[in-house]
Structure 1
Amino acid sequence: MKPLTIVWAVVIGFITFDRNVVAQDSGPICDVPSAGDLNGSNFTYPFPLKTYKFTSQLQEVEMAFMDVSPTIEPNGKIAICLHGKNFCGPTWEETARQLAGVGYRVILPDQVGFCKSSKPRSYQYTLQQFSYNTKSLLDVLGIENVTVVGHSLGGMTSIRFGLMFPDIIDRLILVNPIGLEDWKALGVPYKPVDILDAIESSSNYTTIREYEQSTYYVGKWDDSYDVWVNMLVDIYKGNEAAMFAFNQALVTDMALSAPVVYEFGMLEPRTLLMIGDKDNTALGKQWSPPDVQTKLGHYDVLGKQAAAAMPNADLIEFPDLGHAPQIQEPGIFHEALLAWLSD
């Protein structure tokens, strides 16, 4: 095992602030009820909820987030967990409890466009913008060093974050990140945002469960997974449903257009890839020709290739798990994660 890495985030130019004011929740950070409708989501969050209000792309937006304190003597380390496209900050609840249980402070944000955060009518989504927003949140909280944990789209964002801000990162943990291959170069046809929006707008419990069951959980299902399906369904049916679907279409277009696979060799932080080998996630796979579909989403191969391309990476594979090993087998997943972090 290689040494430990922690990511510290510093923000450039979004807000000037007095950290003493922020600590009193009278500045851009505000406490809000964890239940109730916030930006189209009625899901009850497991920890106290806050919002970070800032200006981005000439408009006022807010990021919802949870700030979880250590449950034992603090170890001086801070982690931030970045959710995937079909998840929200609460998806990391058990991971946050595990990390807090060994002394970490844990930040769980919802990215702009997702969950309880703003859903702008017009926003140019890029992995760089997600990274700057994340960095801005950490900076306004006065955090100067952080371990970054990213799953799925959050893993892809974490890779870009690591490439942009390597000096502030201690460790980088990528859980079945998307972007380990260039889908468009492999033949995935282009779909305009209008069509992507129609696809997103048609999402419901059945379509979401069928996708997650086949991809995240290797065809298996447990009733406990329903909470995450219903969390997402609530937003697709919420009072900002149309804007949420449109934002998700923009995010899909962003991910398809912004491969990170060619830059793995420049990723400096100490990195851990945690890969469920039976994952078959690939954006655009469902509308690709059969000969293209067969090429895509082979995580048992992609994980090894990514680890070999990254100069400072370890690889932990879960042979029988899919896209969300932290949910499918949380005991096995967290045992491996904490062992690597304690190295």
Structure 2
Amino acid sequence: MMLSRSFCLVGLLASAALPAFAATEGPAYGPELQGFEYPYPVEHFSFQSQGKSLQMGYMDVPAKGKANGRSIVLMHGKNFCGATWEASIKSLSDAGYRVIAPDQIGFCTSSKPDHYQYSFQQLAINTHQLLEKLGIQKVTLLGHSTGGMLATRYALLYPTQTEQLALVNPIGLEDWKALGVPYRSVDQWYERELKLTADGIRTYERNTYYAGNWKPEFDRWVDMLAGLNKGPGHTQVAWNSALIYDMIFTQPVFYEFKDLQMPTLLLIGTSDTTAIGSDIAPPAVKAKIGHYAVLGKQIAGLIPHATLVEFPGLGHAPQMEEPAQFHKALLQGLNAL
């Protein structure tokens, strides 16, 4: 169950700061996204962490096509949830994978504790405990946005259990603080997160994620995030979101890409401009961060066994922007690794 507190996160794991706008349109959801419909049944894994009783929501979808004996774990971005993997879950299940799509602690259908020391190591350990409970010993990891940072950390912590790694427009391809992006305190993040609205989220995502483009089907995901942020648990949601943003900014994985030894697939929408803190960065700093057309190639050169697949003109979430094109490339890439 959720713990209560009257005061202040997001995208596990995605992305840069969302702007604030004053508006109240759209639905409101409970602190664990009660009222929002997931594409598959949500189960909950109960466990102890940092002296707290927590629950991690997850979907466990069996292979619908001829089972290939492989399990794939999907790690969502910060401004996303397990539900936003809907098209990917179907595609992978149809291709024979068992698909596990958890909501990380602090996100979506999972607990949002009052006090929690967020780290990518802790989230990876939580996920590993879930997989142990499900009896899964070897996995392919598919991480998007902030989930790409988490998938990288998981692969580094559990290299013998990670058969393949696939990263979709992961953030953390550069160390923003080392490049001169100013530090924003947890309290500052919290005040910002309290002001999130559907209008602000939509504007940010259109400009940053989708290169100025928008499709009506994206509105469902805007309502999901905005509804969670303005529901009865909005202060808990905002506080956890602030803590997670601090984790993303202060815990880079950039320096360890060279240590990944498993086959790695990089799937990059080249029009993405996501970079944490770009909204408060000096103009000279802002001009040199968030260039995925460059970053994808650079990181592919750092990872020993990397295959780079680029999607020219697509943005931060190619799996949502052009699902058919993306999933064809994903399945071909996984089969070739």
Deviation, structure 1 residue 40: 4.4
Deviation, structure 1 residue 288: 1.1
Q: Which runs of 4+ in 1 moved over 6 A?
A: none
SS of the residue corresponding to residue 293 of structure 2 reads helix
1:69 aligns to 2:62 (yes or no): yes
Partner of residue 18, structure 1: none
Correspondent of 2:241 among 229, 233, 248: 248
Q: Percent identical across equivalent pairs?
A: 50
Correspondent of 1:87 among 75, 80, 83: 80
Partner of residue 3, structure 1: none
**CA distance in structure 2 between the aligned counterparts of 1:90 and 1:63, rounded to whole angstroms:** 14
The 8 Å contact of residues 83 and 153 in structure 1, kept in 2 or not, is answered as yes
1:280 aligns to 2:279 (yes or no): no
SS of the residue corresponding to residue 92 of structure 2 reads helix
Partner of residue 310, structure 2: 317
1:118 aligns to 2:91 (yes or no): no
One-letter code of the match for 2:204?
Answer: Y
Partner of residue 188, structure 1: 181
Deviation, structure 1 residue 235: 0.5
SS of the residue corresponding to residue 307 of structure 1 reads helix
SS of the residue corresponding to residue 284 of structure 1 reads coil
Deviation, structure 1 residue 69: 1.0
1:291 aligns to 2:284 (yes or no): yes
Deviation, structure 1 residue 237: 1.2
The size of the alignment, in residue pairs, is 308
Partner of residue 5, structure 1: none
Partner of residue 17, structure 2: none
The 8 Å contact of residues 31 and 232 in structure 2, kept in 1 or not, is answered as no
**CA distance in structure 2 between the aligned counterparts of 1:59 and 1:339, rounded to whole angstroms:** 42
Deviation, structure 1 residue 240: 1.2
Q: CA RMSD in A?
A: 1.0
Correspondent of 2:169 among 168, 176, 191: 176
SS of the residue corresponding to residue 342 of structure 1 reads helix
**CA distance in structure 1 between the aligned counterparts of 2:45 and 2:146, rounded to whole angstroms:** 21
The 8 Å contact of residues 41 and 238 in structure 1, kept in 2 or not, is answered as no
1:326 aligns to 2:324 (yes or no): no
Q: Deviation digits for residues 116-151 of structure 1, max 9, x if unmatched? A: 100000101101011101111001111111110000
The 8 Å contact of residues 275 and 290 in structure 2, kept in 1 or not, is answered as yes
One-letter code of the match for 1:163?
Answer: L
**CA distance in structure 2 between the aligned counterparts of 1:232 and 1:39, rounded to whole angstroms:** 11
Deviation, structure 1 residue 256: 0.5
One-letter code of the match for 1:197?
Answer: Y
**Structure number with higher relative contact order (C-alpha < 8 Å, ≥ 6 residues apart):** 2
Task: Report the TM-score when normalising by structure 2.
Answer: 0.90
The 8 Å contact of residues 42 and 234 in structure 1, kept in 2 or not, is answered as no
1:137 aligns to 2:118 (yes or no): no
**CA distance in structure 2 between the aligned counterparts of 1:180 and 1:90, rounded to whole angstroms:** 25
Task: Report the TM-score when normalising by structure 1.
Answer: 0.88
Stretch deviating more after TM superposition (259-268 or 38-47):
38-47
**CA distance in structure 2 between the aligned counterparts of 1:38 and 1:297, rounded to whole angstroms:** 31
The 8 Å contact of residues 40 and 240 in structure 1, kept in 2 or not, is answered as no
Q: Deviation digits for residues 212-249 of structure 1, max 9, x if unmatched? A: 10111110011110010001011001221101111010
SS of the residue corresponding to residue 80 of structure 2 reads coil
The 8 Å contact of residues 40 and 239 in structure 1, kept in 2 or not, is answered as no
The 8 Å contact of residues 171 and 269 in structure 1, kept in 2 or not, is answered as yes
SS of the residue corresponding to residue 154 of structure 1 reads helix
SS of the residue corresponding to residue 166 of structure 2 reads strand
Q: Deviation digits for residues 144-194 of structure 1, max 9, x if unmatched? A: 111100000000111111111111011100000000000000101111111
Deviation, structure 1 residue 42: 2.1
In structure 1, list runs of 5 or more residues that go unmatched: 1-35
In structure 2, list runs of 5 or more residues that go unmatched: 1-28
Partner of residue 49, structure 2: 56
SS of the residue corresponding to residue 54 of structure 1 reads strand
**CA distance in structure 2 between the aligned counterparts of 1:199 and 1:289, rounded to whole angstroms:** 19
SS of the residue corresponding to residue 107 of structure 1 reads strand
Partner of residue 96, structure 2: 103
**CA distance in structure 2 between the aligned counterparts of 1:46 and 1:38, rounded to whole angstroms:** 19
One-letter code of the match for 2:57?
Answer: A
Deviation, structure 1 residue 37: 4.6
